[in-house]
Amino acid sequence: MATTRASLSDSERAERRREDRERLEHAVGELLSSEGWKRWLKARAVLHGYSAHNTLLIAQQAHERGIDPTHVAGFKAWLRLGRCVRKGERGLRIWAPMRLKAREQDGEETGERRVGFRTTSVFDVSQTDVLPDREPVPLRPPCEPVEGDSHAHLLSGLENLAGELGYSVRELALEGNVEGWCDPKRHEIVVNEQLAPNGCVRVLVHELAHALGIGYAEFGRARAEVIVDAVTYIVCASQGLDVSSDSVAYLATWGGEDTVQTVRETAELIDRLARRIEQAIAPQDAEAVGA
């Protein structure tokens, strides 16, 4: 009979926690390569319902198994979507929140609840099949080009966020290849009025990342642009806007004594900024699952 969580000894639980920590540390280490960085950005863009830590875990485990993750869900969730996980498929291990009863030191329940985390398995759509006689739920929006106007409806939410941050948004005719800028002194974001609406969305997302505190003085020009470019890629791709032609920047040298910690903190910062902007344009999709 399979060992259940309830029957695990203290030493077995400690061993599982150690394995979980090592799995996350290994996933963070993948960010130190350009390809690993791009894999995480792509996973975070399509898996915006998961936390930064969980997208790191999914990206790393999926890569090891040759999976290009596009839509991930638990076993029962796939059934509700009209699909079933194929027999023999191994799940991708993530952290899921659970409500626990708080107890005193003597073991008495306090009546309060606290949030803990446990590991659970999720599966990519490539690990599933459509159920017989079922119409599967569409999983992803179409990918639209930045030259079109399919995402014009997102502009109002982005402009509202700018207002919340104390910034005004102006459209001006800009010369050359200049698409826009963020002026923190004037608290103003400028967008080239000649851009198509989808292009305006991309520029506004980019400049809002700057407005959220990613300035050259604080982060240095190179690192700041890596951060805002990553946020732009994640937010636009999560909404079905094609930004694949944009190069995904990466820092060859992250600096600092602990490079792993630096790149981990940068990834977590990018996730928080992207989630703030996603909340402004698609609040129902911006809640994260996991630690």
111 with 204, same domain: the answer is: no
Low-confidence ranges of the chain (pLDDT < 50): 1-5
DSSP state of 34: H
Residues paired with 117 in a beta bridge: 97
Q: What angle, rounded to 10 degrees, do the helices at 10-29 and 52-64 form?
A: 80
| pLDDT computed for residue 65 by the predictor | 93
Q: Give the number of residues written for the chain.
A: 291
| pLDDT computed for residue 18 by the predictor | 80
* CB 93 within 8 Å of CB 64: no
The pTM score is: 0.82
25 with 108, same domain: the answer is: yes
Say if 234 falls within a structural domain: yes
Q: What total of structural domains would you count in the chain?
A: 2
Domain edge (last residue) among 75, 99, 130: 130
What domain range is 106 assigned to? 11-130
Residues paired with 121 in a beta bridge: 93
Say if 1 falls within a structural domain: no
| pLDDT computed for residue 192 by the predictor | 95
Check which CATH number belongs to the domain holding 175 and give it.
3.30.2010
